[in-house]
Amino acid sequence: MKRAFVTGGNRGIGLAIAKGLADQGHEVLIGVRDLAAGEAAAPKMGATAVELNLTDPASIARAADQLGGVDILINNAGVLGSGRLLDDPQDFADSMAVMVHGPYLLMHHLTPHMVAQGYGRVVNVSSGWGAFSDGVAGPASYGVAKAALNGLTVAAARTLPRSVKVNAMCPGWVRTRMGGMGATRSPAKGADTAIWLAMLPDTGPTGGFFRDRNPIDW
């Protein structure tokens, strides 16, 4: 049994990841902004709620303290803002905070334990919209933040031992509040590759970008 922390685990793809890991018998903690709502929802998926606001570094530090050691970190939380870039500095700041700086700080706080115990898995839930091979085509700041998250994935994997694996993935177009109800995939389908990366064997890859369990271009 592993101990996993999933950000944005109260709904959407994060909830499906948390549920999938809990169903496999792992101990799951979910990061939630609204602790009361999280504490009401978490037991139904076999998880425990931890208060976390990724735009607030102090909240991230408190959550890390409360968590202690985890084996698996899933940086899933995300925001899709205005879709503008140079005329919306607030959206840029929020996108970078939630999808780059927050994941960076969680890795900063949580990977030393993984290194010390010789085992860790970090999964960064990214998007094909952050791929340079696709022209960083996502809505403005969102695409830039996901491209930066991809860069963080490559660089962090390089600085960590292979026993601590850091991979990015794209869930595809998923029916969530962000993806909309017209999307083609269920949350469970969107969660599958993240769960697979969370449970990689020691021989598995690190520093990669995946969709449907297959490598994709950066």
Ligand X SMILES: NC(=O)c1ccc[n+]([C@@H]2O[C@H](COP(=O)([O-])OP(=O)(O)OC[C@H]3O[C@@H](n4cnc5c(N)ncnc54)[C@H](OP(=O)(O)O)[C@@H]3O)[C@@H](O)[C@H]2O)c1
Positions marked active-site: 142
Task: Quote the DSSP letter at residue 123.
Answer: E
- Residues with Cβ < 8 Å from 195, sequence gap 6 or more? 17, 20, 21, 24
Specify the residue, 1 or 177, whose C-beta has the smaller distance to ligand X.
Answer: 177
Residues 147-206 within binding reach of ligand X (CB under 6 A): 170-171, 173-174, 176-179, 183
79 binds ligand X per the rule CB under 6 A: yes
Number of residues interacting with ligand X: please give it, by CB under 6 A: 30
How many helices and strands in the chain, by DSSP H and E?
Answer: 7, 8
130 binds ligand X per the rule CB under 6 A: no
- Residues with Cβ < 8 Å from 146, sequence gap 6 or more? 99, 126, 127, 129, 130, 138
125 binds ligand X per the rule CB under 6 A: yes
From the list 57, 9, 17, 15, the residue with the least C-alpha distance to 33 is: 9
Specify the residue, 109 or 163, whose C-beta has the smaller distance to ligand X.
Answer: 109
Specify the residue, 84 or 162, whose C-beta has the smaller distance to ligand X.
Answer: 84
Among 13, 63, 73, 105, contact with ligand X (rule: CB under 6 A): 13
* H-helix segments, 24-139: 35-41, 57-67, 89-96, 102-117
Which residues contact ligand X by CB under 6 A?
7-8, 10-14, 31, 33-34, 52-55, 76-79, 98, 125, 127, 170-171, 173-174, 176-179, 183
